[in-house]
């Protein structure tokens, strides 16, 4: 009899844990369910609660929930980025800047921390660091072209400036994403800088797809004759 009771109690415990975990996962899709998740089982749910507190709650609530989130999930850059936002909202500006820098170093694919670091570096006049953050954002599909165009004009308006030189070093030193750079860079980077970077990267041995190169050259015709001529000359040499 006792064994059966223990067995049923064990099954009940497993069922409760399973339901809690499922609710927690579902809260990532349906934030309203986050409050239904038992406190010990909150992972995704705590992220939703912290984000809601940041948007709608007081500064103290936002900070408390964000700190709890980081305590539960200290590794992901996303949780640190949320903590940084909560710290700044609570008036802990210096602490927030330190946290956002840690988040940006830990997660190059975390867009909020990368955008924050881009803005900070740009405001500080550190065009090289801003360019590195810009590239991290450019490689993410969810980054809006409007943001990239805004900072593209600031960082790469001078084809011979520090931002443009850093961009040329990054593109010329990588063979992993030249196609992505051709496709998106032509839209969001000033035409003459874009063309100069592509030519410089090609001279360093970076391979560019001829079809994409021709398309990029065509897309610049309405922007800059000089840039178009540079890319068309590269097409003739390379393709």
Q: What span, in angstroms and rounded, lies between the C-alpha atoms of 70 and 81?
A: 10
Q: How confident is the model at residue 140 (pLDDT cuts 50, 70, 90)?
A: confident
Q: Select the more confidently predicted residue: 78 or 191.
A: 191
Residue 95: CATH number of its domain: 1.25.40
Q: How confident is the model at residue 195 (pLDDT cuts 50, 70, 90)?
A: very high
Runs of H (alpha helix) within the chain: 2-27, 44-56, 59-72, 77-89, 93-106, 111-123, 127-138, 145-156, 162-172, 178-188, 191-203, 210-219, 225-238
List the Cα angle 176/132/239 in 5-degree steps: 35
Tell me the pLDDT tens digit for each residue of 22-81. Answer: 434 443 344 444 454 445 445 556 666 666 766 677 777 777 777 777 777 776 767 777
Overall pTM surpassing 0.85 (yes/no): no
- Which domain, by its residues, includes 60? 22-107
Q: How confident is the model at residue 186 (pLDDT cuts 50, 70, 90)?
A: very high
- 13 within some domain: no
Mean pLDDT of 145-155: 93
- 35 within some domain: yes
Q: Select the more confidently predicted residue: 84 or 32.
A: 84
Q: How confident is the model at residue 164 (pLDDT cuts 50, 70, 90)?
A: very high
- 173 within some domain: no
In the chain, the number of structural domains is 1
The encoded tokens of residue 128 equal 């090289």
Q: Nearest 10 degrees: CA dihedral of 113, 151, 93, 140?
A: -10
The end-to-end CA distance of the chain, in Å, is 82
The encoded tokens of residue 107 equal 């997660």
Reply yes or no on whether the pLDDT at 16 is more than 50. no
Cβ atoms of 87 and 113 closer than 8 Å: no
- 31 within some domain: yes
- 147 within some domain: no
- 80 within some domain: yes
Cβ atoms of 195 and 213 closer than 8 Å: no
Q: Among 21-25, 84-88, 190-194, which stretch is predicted with the lowest mean pLDDT?
A: 21-25
Q: Select the more confidently predicted residue: 173 or 201.
A: 201
- 160 within some domain: no
Q: What span, in angstroms and rounded, lies between the C-alpha atoms of 35 and 50?
A: 11
Q: What span, in angstroms and rounded, lies between the C-alpha atoms of 137 and 218?
A: 25
Q: What span, in angstroms and rounded, lies between the C-alpha atoms of 200 and 206?
A: 9
* Most confident segment among 62-76, 161-175, 185-199: 185-199
Q: Which backbone phi and psi does 81 adopt, to 5 degrees? A: -65, -40
- 179 within some domain: no
Find tokens 């790469």 and name the residue.
156
| 8-state DSSP, 144 | -
């Amino acid at each position: 009899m006792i064994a059966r009771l223990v067995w049923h109690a064990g099954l009940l415990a497993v069922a409760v844990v399973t339901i809690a975990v499922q609710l927690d996962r579902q809260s990532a899709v349906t934030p309203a369910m986050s409050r239904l998740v038992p406190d010990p089982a909150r992972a995704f749910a705590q992220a939703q609660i912290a984000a809601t507190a940041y948007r709608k709650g007081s500064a103290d609530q936002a900070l408390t929930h964000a700190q709890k989130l980081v305590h539960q999930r200290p590794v992901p850059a996303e949780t640190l980025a949320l903590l940084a936002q909560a710290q700044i909202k609570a008036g802990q500006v210096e602490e927030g800047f330190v946290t956002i820098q840690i988040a940006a170093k830990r997660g190059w694919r975390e867009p909020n921390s990368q955008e924050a670091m881009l803005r900070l570096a740009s405001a500080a006049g550190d065009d090289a660091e801003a360019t590195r953050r810009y590239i991290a954002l450019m490689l993410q599909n969810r980054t809006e072209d409007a943001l990239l165009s805004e900072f593209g004009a600031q960082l790469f308006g001078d084809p011979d400036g520090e931002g443009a030189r850093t961009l040329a070093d990054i593109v010329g030193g990588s063979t992993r994403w030249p196609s992505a750079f051709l496709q998106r860079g032509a839209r969001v980077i000033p035409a003459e800088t874009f063309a100069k970077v592509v030519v410089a990267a090609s001279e360093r041995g970076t391979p560019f797809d001829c079809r994409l190169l021709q398309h990029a050259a065509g897309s610049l015709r309405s922007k800059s004759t000089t840039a178009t001529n540079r890319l068309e000359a590269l097409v003739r040499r390379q393709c």
